[in-house]
């Protein structure tokens, strides 16, 4: 199955773009800083090259996983791995059904599901042990649900 990796890497930019809006002081930034216990003056002293470089790397890693969540046909070949007699069947199957459910809307649905059932539980568990508030969980989980929905949409439509 061919994947448009340019679309996947494009989806990796979503957390940066959404983050610039989501964590802006006029949106959730001020509330998030208070809930996270982040001192604005201390934050200004952070090494932004490391923060944004690592963010890009982690976003690429996340985006590379999104096709396996969003694209139903992604794993069809793995079911028959090692069985060369099924090669023709797989090619025919992908010719007939390779583009089914490949839309922004469907990808966004699966991205949202991934956000709600993967990101939300992980963030909630960590936040409970860190003693963070509901606001902290809601802001961060909301961010990742939106990011994964958009990333899923991009991958569903273009990858």
Instruction: Give the pLDDT of residue 72.
Output: 87
**Angstrom distance (rounded) from CA 15 to CA 90:** 35
Length of the chain: 159
Helix (H) or strand (E) holding 44: none
Give the H or E element holding residue 38: none
Buried b (16+ CB within 10 A) or exposed e, 64-100: bebbebbbebeebeeeeeeeeeeeeebeeeeeeeeee
pLDDT at 142: 98
Please spell the DSSP secondary structure of 76-107, one letter per residue: HHHHTTT-GGGHHHHHHHHHHHTTTT-SHHHH
* pLDDT tens track, the chain, 159 positions: 678 999 999 999 999 999 999 999 999 999 999 999 999 888 889 999 999 999 999 999 999 999 999 998 888 878 888 888 888 888 898 889 888 899 999 999 999 999 999 999 999 999 999 999 999 999 999 999 999 999 999 999 998
pLDDT of residue 1: 66
Question: pTM to 2 decimals?
Answer: 0.91
Per the structure, how many domains does the chain have?
1
Per-residue confidence (pLDDT) for residue 5, from 0 to 100: 92
**Percent of the chain residues topping a pLDDT of 90:** 77
Coil, strand, or helix at residue 132?
coil
Distance CA 124, CA 137 (A): 6
- Which residues span the domain enclosing 13? 5-158
Residues in Cβ contact with 76 at an 8 Å cutoff, skipping those fewer than 6 apart: 1, 90, 93, 94
What are the backbone angles phi and psi of residue 102, rounded to the nearest 5°? -110, 80
């Amino acid at each position: 199955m061919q994947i448009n990796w340019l679309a996947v890497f494009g989806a990796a930019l979503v957390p940066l773009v959404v983050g610039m809006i989501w964590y802006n002081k006029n949106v959730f930034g001020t509330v998030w800083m208070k809930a996270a216990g982040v001192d604005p003056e201390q934050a200004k002293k952070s090494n932004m090259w490391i923060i944004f470089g690592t963010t890009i790397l982690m976003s690429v890693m996340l985006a590379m996983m999104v096709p396996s969540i969003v694209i139903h046909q992604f794993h069809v070949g793995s079911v028959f791995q090692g069985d060369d007699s099924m090669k023709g069947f797989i090619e025919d199957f992908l010719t007939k059904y390779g583009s089914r459910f490949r839309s922004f809307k469907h990808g966004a649905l699966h991205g949202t599901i991934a956000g709600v059932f993967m990101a939300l539980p992980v963030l909630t568990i960590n936040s409970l042990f860190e003693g963070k508030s509901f606001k902290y969980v809601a802001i961060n989980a909301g961010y990742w649900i939106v990011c994964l929905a958009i990333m899923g949409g991009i991958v569903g439509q273009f990858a």
